[in-house]
Amino acid sequence: MPRQLRAEQTRTTIITAAADLFDRHGYESTSLSDIVEHAQVTKGALYFHFAAKEDLAQAIMELQSRASRRVASEMDARGYSCLEALMRTTFGVARLSVEGPIPRAGLRLATGGVAVRSPLQHPFTEWLEFASRKLLGAVKESDVHPDVDIDAAAHSFVCFFIGTRVVGRSLEPVARQPRRVAEMWHILIRGLVPVPRRARYLTLATQLEREARTV
């Protein structure tokens, strides 16, 4: 195996192992020795790629941010309405959290006081900006009431979405996340969407939950 490919595979193994431990035990409770043991690599291999635990945390948050942006970009490319794109992005991110530890660990790091280094934005800031754009677009498309305070709605949405994932992590299996996201949307739709368009988006929330659970 070429040296560069082997090095990349080792780096991926280390990141995945660290994400799994950060997700299950938290950042502060996980040591580099724990990561070495869990990844089944040498300390030299770990230090070749990461000088400190903070560098691992940064790498995980970067991967989480990249994955979320990729999901959002895919939804935009398909030409969905702004509200549908926002909904589909949340279910896509929830599905990623079910499938692997990196999105889950990224969330735990973001809520655990781990510093986010520039130029990477804090994930909550990214979500606020994304939600604001989509909700503003949804107003223009008449899918959200025109008198909605976009800043307040975006902030409430991010708190709801992040909170749903944080609380769920502590109380129930991760596979329950799509159901909780659907419940979130059923509440938000009734508060944000005009009555004539409400049925469409309520049906969509149920459909997206079903798709997320069967992927």
What sections of the chain are H helices per DSSP? 3-25, 32-39, 43-49, 53-77, 82-99, 101-111, 123-140, 150-171, 177-192, 195-214
What the block records as the tokens of 114 is: 């781990």
pLDDT for res 63: 94
Q: What is the DSSP letter of 100?
A: -
* Contact (Cβ atoms closer than 8 angstroms) between residue 97 and residue 158: no
Q: What is the pTM of this model?
A: 0.90
The pLDDT of residue 113 is 75
From the list 104, 152, 111, the residue with the least C-alpha distance to 131 is 152
Residue type, 196: P
State both tokens at 112.
């655990």
- What domains can be seen in the chain, in order of their start residue? 54-214 (1.10.357.10)
Rounded Cα distance, 90 and 102, in Å: 16
For residue 3, the model assigns a pLDDT of 67
Cα torsion for 45, 49, 51, 55, to the nearest 10°? -130
- Predicted confidence pLDDT, tens digits, the chain (215 residues): 566 778 889 999 999 999 999 999 999 999 999 999 999 999 999 999 999 999 999 999 999 999 999 999 999 999 999 999 999 999 999 999 888 899 989 988 988 878 888 888 888 999 999 999 999 999 999 999 999 999 999 999 999 999 988 888 778 888 889 999 999 999 999 999 999 999 999 999 999 999 887 65
